Structure formats: C-alpha cells, structure tokens
Chain A
Amino acid sequence: MPHDQHAKGPGFRQSMSGLHTWTGLLLGWVLYAMFLTGTVSFFKDELSQWMRPELPRLTQPLDPAVVAQRVADEIGRIAPNASQWSIKLPDGRSNTVYAFWRTPGVGKGAPGFGQDYFDPITGHRAEARETLGGDFFYRFHFQFYYMSPFWGRLLAGLAAMSMLVAIVAGVITHKKIFTDFFTFRWGKGQRSWLDAHNALSVFGLPFHVMITYTGLVTLMALYVPWGERTAIKTPAERQQLTAELSAFIRADKPGGDKVPLGSIEAMVRQAQQRWGTTDVGRVNSANPGDATARVAVTRGDAGRVSMSPDYLEFDGVTAKLLKVHDHVGAAAETRGVLYALHIGRFSDLETRWLYFIVSFMGTAMVGTGLVMWTVKRRQKLPDPERPFFGFRLVERLNIASIAGLSIAMTAFLWANRLLPNAMADRAFWEIHVFFIVWGLTLLHALLRPAKSAWVEQLWTAAALLALIPVLNAATTQRPLWHSLASGDWVFAGIDLMCVALALLHAVLAIRTARNSARLRPPRSASKRGGIPAMSREAAT
C-alpha cells in the first residue's frame, strides 16, 4: 500500500496542503505586515487626528459648503497659478481639510505639486506638527516604503495573489470544515495551533476572500494592463475611461482669460440639495481662475457601497450645473463596488469596528500560520538544539515580523510625540524611526535565543503600548482623563486601544515564558503533547 501511494505520488488534498504551506510562507511576512497595517488603516483618519494633537476636535458639524469656499479661497491665495486643485471636505472622522494642487511647469520644467491640511474653521493652513499620520500605514499597506510605488504595488499584488491561492488551497485541505467548526484542543501543541489557525481562517472566510480579491481589483489596471491597452487607443477613449473611474475632470486648455472662480459655496449647495447636507465628499477644480474653469462636486462615501464617480460638473465661472454624472457602465460599477468593499469608507462606526475586528483576525490567521510552520517542523528536527538554516531563518523572521512589527508600529507613535516639532523632514523621520526600530528587532531576533527573543520583544511591545497614554499625557494637553471627561472619543479610544493591545502582548509574553519554563525540566513532558506550541517555537 505505501509502495502504491509512493508510485502514484501525493493525493490532491496533499498537494493542496503543500501549496497552502508554501504560498502562505514565502510571502507570509509581507502579508502579515500588509494585513496589520491594513487593519489599522480602517481607523486612519482617527489615528491622524491623534497624531496632530495641536488641532482641536470638531465639536459641531460644519457646513461643507462654507468650508469648501474658505479653503478654495485660501488655495487661490497660496497657489494662484494652480491648474487643478482638489479639496477633501471634513466628515465626522477628521478635523482637517486635505487639499492638493498642481501648478503648470515653467518652460520645459515639470508641473509642480503642492498639498496641505487646512483648518476648516479658519480656512488657513493647519498649524500642526508635520506627520503623515495614519496615512503612512495606509500607504505602506499596498505600496510599502523605500521603493517606488510601482514595485511596491507589484509586490503587494504578488502577496495578495499568494494569499488568494493559499485561501483556496487551505479550504480544500481543511477536510472537516463544518464538523471542526468550533474545535479547539487546548495544550496539544501543533494541534492547538492548527485549531486556532483554522478558526481564525474559517470564521472570517468570506471577509478574507473578499478583502484579498478586492485588494487585487483596486490595482488590477497595474497587474493586467493588456486588456485596457488593447481596447483603449485614442485620447478620447482614454478620457472616457477616466470619466468612468474617477471624478477628476479634464478641462479644456486654459484660454488665458483671467476670470475669478464662481461661488464654490453655491455649487456645493446644489449638491447638498441632491444628496443631503453632509453627503458631499470632494470639490475638484480644473483651470481655476480661467474662463474655461470647471468644478466637480463629488458625493461622499457614506451613502453607498461603491467608489464609482458620482458628481455634479459645473461651469467654474458661472456656477451653472453642466452635467450630472450619477451612473457608470456595469463593469466600472462592479469595480466601484469591489473597491468600496475593500476600503470600507461607507461604514458607520459599528461596521468599521467589525471591519477592524475581522481584519485583526485575518492578521492573526497569517501570524498563526507562520508560527505553525516552525512548530510542525521542530518535531521532526534531528537535533532541535541545532536546527537547519532555513528553519532558523523562518523562526527569526517570524519573531521580527510579528512581535517586531508591533514594536515598530508603536515606536512610530512614540516618534510622533517625541521628535521636535521644528525638526526638518519631521514626517519622514517618524517613518525612519519605524524602520530603524523594526530593523533593530530583526537584529535582536538574530542575536538572541529564539525563546528569549519572543518573550523580550512581546514584553517590549506591551510596555511601549501601555505607556502610550502616559506619553500622551506628558507631551500634549489632551491626557486620557481629559479625553474621557470631555467625550473626546478619538483620543480616548486610541489611548485605551493601546492599553488593550498592551494586555494582549503581555498575555502572549507570559504564556510564552511560562511554557518555555515548563518545557525545561522533565523532558518527557514534551512527549505528552501538553505544551502549547509557542513554547516549542520558543524552545531554542
């Protein structure tokens, strides 16, 4: 019988198991970082508020029409020659107005680009520390850093594709998906890790499939450009494609006749009559200050599960409504819905928390999968004290990718509070601190015994997270008790979330340390299978 099996080769399920293992592992560290930073990004606007503590929270909802006029006037003063600008209006989740603008190049020079955050009450530039805030994690999630966005996005796509393959192969491999639905066998080493990995995977399976597939869809034009290249040939066709995908209007060539922009407030008011007072997302302008000016007022994200462009196009001078863009073709709408599902901007607070929790489970799914690779193989090592190079590499990368990333992300928050406000390139130094600390955790994992590295890094993460509220109280005027008393739930929420995550890391550190200690004396104990797997993981 074994001979026959050998002759036939591994069965289909066995092959899928191998595929699941290796597609999960090879880009698993990248996936873990993508999942965790993506999870945090569901609260990126709140995190950005926390990282600009100088800016007061908005206690009253502001009228988007008035705010849009204020900021448009300010951009007109800052960049009078702008050929295009875009203003993202504040919603219930942000206390600033983000805007960017483009200026034409001088002579043969490249076009200029500017961006800033504005105070919605005064319309002036917001006076706050320089930081990328939560946007750093958001951008890192799909294009990483220290590499061109093109290559970063390709790598992210490769990782997402591996994830999709791993999910499908995992479902095929998991024989008893329903009968083992609620199974967890405590203290069974590898079996316990497998049960936890299965539960984290199966409970959130619809979400994991959705988030992975839609992640690929968001950048599909980059990954499979050939269809678009074949079908879209002329500038007119390209313009039509752009109109199906975004609300950035293309104005005619500027005529050169300087004419002041019409009332932005009046244009936004017309949009409000159509969508409601608060459901306005952006105001975009092309050729502002020219007779050919056009303005687009786009609908907000809250009212629909779609990112397809939905906007009103105005004559920028007379504020006359020229066109209503409220539908796109079926293919574009499919893309718009899938895109919206991925980033979840339509969510109310409760749904956002659901996104966060299930995505966090996805992160844990990847993490348990990575740890399980070493747990499974440790049992088969001829000498567990001297594992082979590949095993040691995976083990150390696991420590730095899982525990080390927690430390690095928390260090990013510490840098936000401790770096001098006047420091040159401050926003970039916050990011440099993140990577320097992450690199140091890898160095630490390489130099220390694995069990010590796990425990020390988990404790470090716990301590750094637990001290965030103390750091915040010491360096800002918005300590936790003040936030709680004044109902500032963004600040209170982030402080309390850091404490909750500190507890999680502390529990993991304690369990890892205890199990490691339990492993030492009677060697027969390990044979009973009663040692949770991280102890085995940490046993060298």
Chain B
Amino acid sequence: MSHTVAQLLCLVGFSALAFGLRRPQHDILRRSLRRPVVLALRAVGACALLAALAVLVDASGWGFGLVKFSGHTTLAAALVYLALIGYGRRSAMRQ
C-alpha cells in the first residue's frame, strides 16, 4: 500500500515540477506560466516528494524508506518523462 501511495505522490510531484519548467510549459500549454504559478508548482512538487518520503519512512523506517524513495522517484520521473514524450509525439502527428 505504501508503495502505491508513494508512487502516486511522486508522480504528482514530478508532474508539478515538470510544469514548473519552461520547455514543458511551451510544449504542452504553448505559453509561459506566470512566476507565482511556477513557484506554486515547484512548492507542490517538492511537498509531494517529501510526502512520499514521509509515507515510505513511516512504513519501513529510514533505512528501507530511503532506498525505496530513491527507486520511486526515479520511476516516477521516468514515467512523467515518457508521458511528456508521448504527448509531444501525439501533438506532432495531429499537426
């Protein structure tokens, strides 16, 4: 259960962090987001990742929790990356 919750939180976190970057904003939204929005996205992203760490440490302790956190963050970042590539390809094909 903790694995699922942590993975979902990491996905939310990296999605927010991705939208806090200029290139994904332009690729998907076709515009730049305002500075306060970007800062809010970064804060949400960081908090979601910290929440994932808290869930894992609470469930498994610091030793196991940190190892699992490292794995979940990598997997979530890769999934967000693949989703962005997939979205970009679909948009390119439509055009």
Residues of chain A touching chain B, judged by Cβ–Cβ distance below 8 Å, are 179-184, 186, 199, 203-204, 206-207, 210, 304-305, 337, 341, 344, 346-347, 350-351, 354-355, 357-358, 361
In the complex, the answer to whether A186 meets B85 with C-beta atoms within 8 Å is yes
Q: Which residues of A contact B18 (CB under 8 A)?
A: 181-182
In the complex, the answer to whether B3 meets A350 with C-beta atoms within 8 Å is yes
Contact check: which of A179, A183, A305, A351 meets B71 at CB < 8 Å?
Answer: A351
Residue of A at shortest CB range from B62?
A: A305
In the complex, the answer to whether B22 meets A184 with C-beta atoms within 8 Å is no
Residue of B at shortest CB range from A179?
A: B21
Max count, chain A CB within 10 A of own CB: residue among B74, B81, B85, B92: B74
Tell me the minimal C-beta distance from A100 to chain B in angstroms.
30
Q: Which residues of B contact A355 (CB under 8 A)?
A: 71
28 contacts between A and B (CB under 8 A): A179-B21, A179-B22, A179-B23, A180-B23, A181-B18, A181-B21, A181-B77, A182-B23, A183-B23, A184-B85, A186-B88, A204-B74, A206-B70, A206-B74, A207-B70, A210-B70, A305-B63, A305-B67, A341-B67, A346-B64, A351-B64, A351-B67, A354-B68, A354-B74, A357-B74, A357-B75, A357-B78, A358-B70
In the complex, the answer to whether A354 meets B71 with C-beta atoms within 8 Å is yes
Tell me the minimal C-beta distance from A471 to chain B in angstroms.
31
Quick one: given A182-B84, A186-B89, A351-B68, are A207 and B22 in contact (CB under 8 Å)?
no
Contact string, B49-76, partner A, CB cutoff 8 A, digits 1/0?
0000000000000011001101110110
Tell me the minimal C-beta distance from A212 to chain B in angstroms.
14
Quick one: given A351-B67, A351-B71, are A203 and B88 in contact (CB under 8 Å)?
no
Known: A183-B23, A354-B68. 5 other contacts (CB 8 A): A179-B23, A184-B84, A203-B81, A207-B71, A355-B71
Q: Which residues of B contact A199 (CB under 8 A)?
A: 78, 81
Tell me the minimal C-beta distance from A300 to chain B in angstroms.
14
Q: Which residues of B contact A344 (CB under 8 A)?
A: 67
Residue of A at shortest CB range from B72?
A: A354
Does residue B80 face the partner (Cβ distance < 8 Å to A)?
yes
Residue of A at shortest CB range from B61?
A: A305
Q: How far is the CA of A346 from the CA of B64 in the complex (A)?
A: 9
Residue of B at shortest CB range from A181?
A: B21
In the complex, the answer to whether B22 meets A182 with C-beta atoms within 8 Å is no
In the complex, the answer to whether B74 meets A361 with C-beta atoms within 8 Å is yes
In the complex, the answer to whether A182 meets B74 with C-beta atoms within 8 Å is no
Residues of chain B touching chain A, judged by Cβ–Cβ distance below 8 Å, are 3, 17-18, 21-24, 63-64, 67-68, 70-72, 74-75, 77-78, 80-81, 84-85, 88-89, 92
Residue of B at shortest CB range from A362?
A: B74
Q: Is the interface of B mostly helix, strand, loop or mixed?
A: helix
Quick one: given A207-B71, A341-B67, are A182 and B89 in contact (CB under 8 Å)?
no
Tell me the minimal C-beta distance from A190 to chain B in angstroms.
17
Tell me the minimal C-beta distance from A197 to chain B in angstroms.
13
Q: How far is the CA of A206 from the CA of B81 in the complex (A)?
A: 18
Q: How far is the CA of A186 from the CA of B95 in the complex (A)?
A: 15
Q: Which residues of A contact B84 (CB under 8 A)?
A: 182, 184
Quick one: given A305-B67, A354-B68, are A182 and B80 in contact (CB under 8 Å)?
yes
Q: Which residues of B contact A204 (CB under 8 A)?
A: 74
Q: Which residues of B contact A341 (CB under 8 A)?
A: 67
In the complex, the answer to whether A358 meets B74 with C-beta atoms within 8 Å is yes
Residue of B at shortest CB range from A184?
A: B85
Q: Which residues of B contact A183 (CB under 8 A)?
A: 23
Q: How far is the CA of A445 from the CA of B58 in the complex (A)?
A: 52
Tell me the minimal C-beta distance from B84 to chain A in angstroms.
6
Q: How far is the CA of A43 from the CA of B27 in the complex (A)?
A: 39
Q: Which residues of B contact A210 (CB under 8 A)?
A: 70
Q: Which residues of A contact B22 (CB under 8 A)?
A: 179
Q: Which residues of B contact A350 (CB under 8 A)?
A: 3, 68
Q: Which residues of B contact A358 (CB under 8 A)?
A: 70-71, 74-75
Q: How far is the CA of A183 from the CA of B85 in the complex (A)?
A: 9
Q: How far is the CA of A236 from the CA of B94 in the complex (A)?
A: 75
Q: How far is the CA of A220 from the CA of B12 in the complex (A)?
A: 40
Tell me the minimal C-beta distance from A179 to chain B in angstroms.
7
Tell me the minimal C-beta distance from A113 to chain B in angstroms.
35
Contact check: which of B17, B23, B64, B72 meets A305 at CB < 8 Å?
Answer: B64
Q: How far is the CA of A262 from the CA of B77 in the complex (A)?
A: 55
Contact check: which of A184, A206, A337, A354 meets B75 at CB < 8 Å?
Answer: A354
Tell me the minimal C-beta distance from A276 to chain B in angstroms.
16
In the complex, the answer to whether A203 meets B92 with C-beta atoms within 8 Å is no
Q: How far is the CA of A526 from the CA of B84 in the complex (A)?
A: 26
